[in-house]
Amino acid sequence: MDKRKHIALITTWYPPAQGVAVQRMLAFLRYFDQTQFRFSVLTILLDNTQEFEQIDSSSVYRLENKPALPVWASKREDKRHIHLLKTVWNYTIQQMQPYTFAGWQKLVQQKLEQINTNDPIQFVLSSSSPVEAHLAAAAFAKTRPEICWVADMRDELAANPHITERLRKVLTKAEQTVNLRANIVTSVSTPILDDFKNRMPGVVQFAEIRNGFDHTILPSGNFNKIFTIAFSGTFYGDIKPHTFFKGLQLFLSTQNIQYKLMFVGTYRNFEIPGELLPHCIFMPQVSYEDAVNYMAQADANLLILPPSGRKGVYSGKLFDYLSVKKPIIALLDPNDVAAELIGQCNAGFVAQFNNHAQIANSIQQAHEVWEKQLTLPYNHERIESLHRKFQVEKLNNLLLQWQVK
């Protein structure tokens, strides 16, 4: 008989999906103490996936979702107007049916009951978005006080400044549900977590579980023949490269250099100034490891975090940028956590998102590092501490302590 504690992980963020949230879920599975814990994963059924898989010691259940009006997935090859149409459609659908994963939630609740009957669950770990992951966990744990429920919020819910008032009401109600039953709430940064503490006075314990890097790829230390700046990931909402382009144009007005802008897995849903376009390269969406290799081979990596009126914004790619030890050109709030971490690691050059002169100066400094083939005085110990395994270890130990209780 398996005496390890049984954790039910509820999330839509699981392979074959890709992204920072998926890496977070995989890190939970990978770095929890396998001698103490085992997982059942309840996730979304996607095309070309199996309804059940046994992966190492984890049982993976994929459950279907059938919304009345489906959302449209964006593709890298989408033209700008197609991407815009999909965005507008998905936004409209969200307003009409805010619980777009309600069908999936119902099946998750049924599967939890079925699993628990044959193999009792001691811990539930739900991760948003969507909030239906938390709602399914709440329904299951409501009449089972012996179960420890961890609600992994990751980012803000109702406090997100970019959502509509209607959606804010939906998310506020979900937060209230979490507040009534969750034992532990986690988030990716202290400022976001502090806000949840104020919004959820009924929760016993809170923990910052940051994102991080999760690979063994060594820094390359290379210098390309042509100065190459890389951006990995997608642009969405207010996160667009327009102020970077302005800063680059300002830098180029005083410099006659060769350069490349490499976009990895990036939807082309933004305008590129004509004189910069011949220098842009768009790479297809690739695996996490391949994306990190592109970062490692670049001469500088671009981070864009526009001001949002909120604190605690890291961006998951920041940790991967730090891990490859190439200069970071960072356009963000210089008084928020991302700028602070870059400074602690001595890993790049920070500019105010809207300050074209500062952006040009950051590009110039990164170019000088490349031109003189210098290495920044990285804080190697601080960077190594950002590996995901150390963050997961914190949650692992919390659950071991809860087990003792």
Domains and CATH numbers, the chain: 5-65+101-211+388-404 (3.40.50.2000), 227-384 (3.40.50.2000)
The 10s digit of each residue's pLDDT in 289-308 is: 999 999 999 999 999 998 87
Percentage of residues in the chain having pLDDT higher than 90 = 71
Average pLDDT over residues 135-153: 96
CA atoms within 13 A on the CB side of 247: 25
Report how far residue 136's alpha carbon sits from residue 109's, in angstroms, rounded to the nearest whole number: 5
Beta carbons of 365 and 349 less than 8 angstroms apart: yes
Report how far residue 294's alpha carbon sits from residue 7's, in angstroms, rounded to the nearest whole number: 35
The 10s digit of each residue's pLDDT in 344-397 is: 999 999 999 999 999 999 999 999 999 999 999 999 999 999 999 999 999 999
Residue 151 one-letter amino acid: A
Report how far residue 30's alpha carbon sits from residue 120's, in angstroms, rounded to the nearest whole number: 22
Average pLDDT over residues 215-242: 89
The tokens describing 284, both together, are 């297809």
Beta carbons of 338 and 317 less than 8 angstroms apart: no
Q: Which of 32, 44, 43 is nearest to 7 (CA)?
A: 32
State yes or no: pLDDT of 234 exceeds 80: yes
- pTM for this model (two decimals): 0.86
State yes or no: pLDDT of 74 exceeds 90: no
Q: What Cα–Cα distance (Å) separates residue 359 from each residue in 229, 262, 278, 332, 355?
A: 13, 18, 21, 10, 6
The tokens describing 133, both together, are 């992951």
Report how far residue 101's alpha carbon sits from residue 44's, in angstroms, rounded to the nearest whole number: 9
The 10s digit of each residue's pLDDT in 321-349 is: 999 999 999 999 999 989 999 999 999 99
State yes or no: pLDDT of 404 exceeds 60: no
The 10s digit of each residue's pLDDT in 182-216 is: 999 999 989 899 999 999 999 999 999 999 999 99
Predicted pLDDT of residue 311? 74
